[in-house]
Copies of this chain bind each other. A is one copy, B any other.
Amino acid sequence: MKKIGVADTMFARVDMYKTVEKAIMESKENVKIIRYTVPGVKDLPVACKRLFTQGCDICIVLGMPGKEPVDKVCSHEASQGIGQVQLMVEKHILEVFVHMDEGKNNSELLTIAKNRAHDHTLNALALLKGQHTLTPRAGQGVRQGKKDEGPLE
């Protein structure tokens, strides 16, 4: 049975884990979830590293960086670490980051968070099946959490 690691934070203002869990349940895929909760996004990279050591085949990270300049830097550092872990273990980490200034109001932010967590969970399940599963949608302007942009042609 494949294992999906899910690392989330106390800092985030939405419990996106619920959405991830529900999407996995509904998919009927036979996967096991291993969860890891940390204070903030900068703690996510090492959490993933440890989840991979526990046998995870792929990870999803859930974070909500703040809107101040210092938060943008934090988010960048977190992403760099997430990138490094992927190269160390040669496995994917799908990054569900929702920036506090992405939505016009709390309601929109909540919608983006839930949709993005849902969509990237499906992407994770797809990548577990192989590197061509997402190919039919390549270059199609697909978005997670927002409306697809669609292809230019």
Contacts and interface: CB of A to CB of B under 8 A. Distances in A.
B110 A152 contact: yes
A90 B84 CA distance: 13
A62 B146 CA distance: 22
Contacts of A8: 138-139
Given A76-B77, A151-B15, A99 B84 contact: no
A131 B13 contact: no
B84 A87 contact: yes
B152 A95 contact: no
A106 B10 contact: no
Interface string A30-42: 0000011111001
Interface of A: 8-17, 35-39, 42-43, 45-47, 49-50, 53, 62, 70, 72-81, 83-88, 90-92, 94-95, 99, 106, 109-110, 113, 120, 123, 127, 131-135, 137-144, 149-153
